[in-house]
Amino acid sequence: MYYLGLDIGGTNIAAVVMDAQGQEIARYRCPTQKASYPQFVESVVAFIDQISHDIQLPMMTGIALPGSVSPLSGLIKNSNIQVINGRALQTDLQQLLGQTMVMANDGNCFALSEACDGAGQQHEVVFGITPGTGCGGGIAIHRQPFVGAWGNAAECGHITLRSLLIRRTDQKIACWRRI
């Protein structure tokens, strides 16, 4: 079995194909298309199709993305890629590609990876911060992602910064992601 992992960011989408032993087979990268939801979905589908064509082997697909997947509705929320907010991205991609896939917050994926295979292996609780186009975070407890009731337990980029509320002139709430 082979595995395709996509890390969708606000600027680029990075992908890696690995074998069952965790050996890297190939790496890919493309810009994130975010002018509209249809454009975004079409570009992700085309990217996965290109990789599948190159590899020519069955692959399980996992996607890490900014924002959270609501555990109640399956809709994306709090993403810095505005066009995917309020959308059932996982369902749409699965229907278009004809395959099941796993989708999760990129900060949670990072924390889980460090807890299982990285610097956090010796710790029961791992917290990770993912700065990039936005600022996210994730928590892994006993090598399991902790998402909380609403799916965004560790989204540290959306912590309100009270000391900046007075300084803002555009009436937007100040948070880590905005500074």
pLDDT in tens, 117-129: 999 999 999 999 8
Q: Which region among 11-25, 49-63, 107-121, 132-146 has the lowest average model confidence (pLDDT)?
A: 132-146
Based on the fold, state whether residues 141 and 159 are members of the same structural domain: yes
Are 101 and 94 within 8 A, CB to CB?
Answer: yes
Domain count, the chain: 2
CATH of the domain at 140: 3.30.420.40
Based on the fold, state whether residues 123 and 51 are members of the same structural domain: no
Are 128 and 137 within 8 A, CB to CB?
Answer: yes
Q: Which region among 123-127, 149-153, 158-162 has the lowest average model confidence (pLDDT)?
A: 158-162
Based on the fold, state whether residues 95 and 114 are members of the same structural domain: no
Based on the fold, state whether residues 126 and 89 are members of the same structural domain: no
- Which pTM was predicted? 0.85
Closest-CA residue to 4 (of 52, 76, 68, 53):
52
What is the C-alpha separation between 137 and 107, in angstroms, rounded?
4
Q: Residue 92 is inside which H or E element, if any?
A: helix 89-97
What is the C-alpha separation between 93 and 125, in angstroms, rounded?
32
Based on the fold, state whether residues 165 and 112 are members of the same structural domain: yes
Using alpha carbons, list the distances in angstroms from residue 145 to 12, 66, 113, 162. 24, 15, 10, 29
Chain centroid to CA 130: 10
Based on the fold, state whether residues 70 and 26 are members of the same structural domain: yes
Q: At what angle do helices 89-97 and 37-55 cross, to 10 degrees?
A: 40
pLDDT in tens, 69-121: 998 899 999 899 999 999 999 999 999 999 999 999 999 999 999 999 999 99
pLDDT in tens, 124-145: 999 998 887 778 899 999 999 9
Residue 154 pLDDT > 90: no
Based on the fold, state whether residues 172 and 85 are members of the same structural domain: no
Write out the residue range of the structural domain in which residue 120 sits.
Answer: 106-178
Query: What pLDDT score does 157 carry?
Result: 72
Based on the fold, state whether residues 57 and 122 are members of the same structural domain: no
